[in-house]
Structure 1
Amino acid sequence: MIARCGMDCSQCEAYKATCENSDVKRREVAEAWTIEYKTEISPEQINCRGCTSDAEKFFFTESLCEIRKCAMEKKAPHCAKCPDYLCDKLRAFVAEAPVVGKTLEGCETLKDKWKVAG
């Protein structure tokens, strides 16, 4: 499953912990993300079935992710299908997480546009 930003949910530790229903993994992810993102994250918050799912989502994904909000407003399943693809907001995210750019690049319909823009 590909998130709206291009992230591969199957590689996300919160997604894996949720799918495995593992409280041990939720605790490990919460501890790691608390350090990485310099904010308190509890194991109870580590529940996510992906940002495109109708099921539970990580609180950041559900409420704070500007890329997700933007894609939803534009009714795009992911950013590569957005008419404003490769906007400044996404470009900044891809700079931080190049793997999402590679995922979006894999969308055949925008492969050439990515190479020009990127």
Structure 2
Amino acid sequence: MRNMIGYCGLDCEKCDAYIATINDDQALREKTANLWAELNNAPILPEHINCEGCRVDGVKTVYCNSLCGIRQCALKKGMATCGECPDIEKCQTVAMVISNDPDALKNLKG
């Protein structure tokens, strides 16, 4: 499995925070911060939009680094991704991601 597939199965290479970081794209950082702030009703600023992927060494957004329950669970269990977990089919922690993005489950199983 590629390192840029997140613990949840999302493709980090398609994430606007990742794209803005690797391209040092300030306009995309601003757009992403505004969208995420609105979606999460949280004070997210452009300087918070820096991430090199949740499963690789390097900078991560505050959410990905310390608030994402999926990432924290996988790290605690010592799993490379949720795809290794025997409880994935009944897991409520990753269920929302999988239900909203069918490719996530394919990425975890592939």
Identity, in percent, stands at 38
Aligned mates of 1:25, 1:89 — CA distance in 2: 28
Name the residue aligned to 1:67: 70
Aligned mates of 2:80, 2:73 — CA distance in 1: 11
TM-score normalised over the length of structure 2: 0.87
Give the length in aligned residue pairs.
Answer: 106
Q: Which runs of 5+ in 1 are unaligned?
A: 108-118
Bigger CA radius of gyration: 1
- Structure 1 residues 103 and 70, CA gap change in structure 2 (3 angstroms): same
RMSD: 1.4
Aligned mates of 1:38, 1:5 — CA distance in 2: 22
Aligned mates of 1:98, 1:39 — CA distance in 2: 27
TM-score normalised over the length of structure 1: 0.81
Q: Kindly provide the CA deviation profile for residues 58-108 of structure 1, in whole angstroms up to 9, marking residues without a partner as x.
A: 100111000000101111111101232222222233223333223224x2x
Name the residue aligned to 2:103: 99
**With CA pairs under 8 Å and 6+ residues apart, which has the higher RCO, 1 or 2?**
2
For 1:104, the aligned partner's letter is L
Name the residue aligned to 1:81: 84
